[in-house]
Amino acid sequence: MQEVLEQESLLILSIKDAKNEDTSIESFRVLLKYGADMDLGVRRYDENGKEYLYYPTDVFARGISSRR
């Protein structure tokens, strides 16, 4: 019997304040479809080089509320 190894893949998307909100919302839908944990923060840097955590769910919530 051959042993089957479990593999994981990592999908990295760069989501910025896009002019096309529909594209950003669709990106989140794809991530959710494949089980991404949207509560994880992403390490980013501001224009001064200061590190901060960016939470994709915050952008998603803004996108939903701005459509109402």
Walk along the chain (68 residues) and give the pLDDT tens digit of each residue: 666 555 555 555 555 555 555 556 677 777 778 777 777 777 778 889 898 887 777 766 776 555 55
Domain tally, the chain: 1
**Within a domain: residue 42?**
yes
pLDDT of residue 45: 82
**Within a domain: residue 19?**
no
Three-state secondary-structure class, residue 5: coil
CB 12, CB 42: distance < 8 Å: no
Range of the domain at 46: 38-68
CB 40, CB 53: distance < 8 Å: no
What global pTM score does this model have? 0.38
Q: Within the chain, where are the H helices?
A: 21-33, 56-66
**Within a domain: residue 22?**
no
